[in-house]
């Protein structure tokens, strides 16, 4: 597995990671349904759903962990996270830092399943780095992150990829975006869990 547990632990301990995720291992993707070709010939469809509508058990586990960390707060701090608390979800995890109130986002931690789903390295990159090569994905991601930052509330979405997201190596996905922050009035990171239905037609 190419995902670096050491870098994940360093990030949670507020230490800089020594390196980004290594070469993408397309054979190791956790918590995904069997591959099948169902690519949507239309534009990508994003549906906001309730947390209870999430179909992947792994995502419910992620939400449960986040809620436990909340205590009496609206959302936990990044420093509250511990890798062992989401050991079974590390490959499906993103930890994203909010820059300048949401003008951009920096991918601090990206699990193998996420990197494989997009066929590229995301860790230590900013969302804006991909505007030229994946404009639709960047536009939707920026909007979804913005909703979580503005509301300070979790957001769950179900998506079906279309012709406007050719970089995606999956046909369908479920994602939950969870706010993190040092106080209840400001979100400074988002914790993201995603599971994918892979496209067998994509190498």
Separation between Cα atoms, residue 104 and residue 150, nearest integer Å? 14
- The model's pLDDT over 5-50, given as tens digits with 9 standing for 90+, comes to 344 444 444 433 332 333 333 333 334 444 444 556 688 999 999 9
Separation between Cα atoms, residue 102 and residue 15, nearest integer Å? 23
pTM: 0.81
Burial of 67 (0-12, 13-18, 19+ CB in 10 A): middle
Within 8 A by CB and 6+ apart from 165, the residues are 44, 134, 136, 137
Structure-block tokens of residue 169? 């190596």
Q: Which residue has the tokens 């050491």?
A: 6
Residue 67: pLDDT band with limits 50, 70, 90: very high
Are the CB atoms for 38 and 169 separated by under 8 Å? no
**Alpha-carbon radius of gyration of the chain:** 16
Domain assignments of the chain as residue spans, ordered by start: 5-198
- The model's pLDDT over 117-167, given as tens digits with 9 standing for 90+, comes to 998 889 999 999 999 999 999 999 999 999 999 999 999 999 999 888 999
Torsion over CA of 160, 162, 164 and 166, rounded to 10 degrees? Answer: 100
Separation between Cα atoms, residue 190 and residue 203, nearest integer Å? 30
**CATH fold label, 5-198:** Beta-Lactamase (3.30.450)
Sheet strands (E) in the chain: 45-49, 93-99, 104-110, 155-160, 170-180, 189-198
pLDDT of the residue at 42: 82
């Amino acid at each position: 597995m190419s995902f670096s547990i050491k870098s994940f632990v360093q990030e949670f301990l507020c230490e800089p990671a020594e390196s980004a995720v290594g070469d993408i291992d397309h054979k190791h993707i956790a918590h995904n349904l069997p591959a099948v070709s169902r690519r949507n010939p239309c534009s990508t469809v994003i549906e906001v759903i309730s947390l209870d509508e999430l179909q992947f058990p792994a995502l419910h586990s992620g939400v449960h962990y986040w809620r436990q960390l909340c205590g009496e707060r609206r959302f936990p701090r990044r420093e509250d996270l511990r890798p062992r608390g989401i050991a079974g979800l590390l490959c499906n995890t993103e930890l994203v830092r909010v820059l300048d109130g949401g003008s951009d986002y920096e991918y601090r931690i990206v699990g193998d399943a996420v990197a494989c789903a997009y066929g590229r390295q995301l860790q230590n990159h900013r969302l804006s780095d991909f505007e030229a090569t994946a404009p639709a994905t960047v536009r939707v991601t920026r909007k979804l992150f913005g909703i979580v930052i503005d509301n300070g509330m979790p957001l769950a979405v179900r998506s079906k990829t279309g012709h406007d997201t050719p970089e995606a190596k999956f046909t369908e996905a479920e994602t939950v975006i969870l706010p993190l922050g040092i106080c209840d009035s400001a979100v400074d990171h988002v914790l993201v869990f995603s599971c994918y239905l892979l496209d067998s037609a994509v190498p």
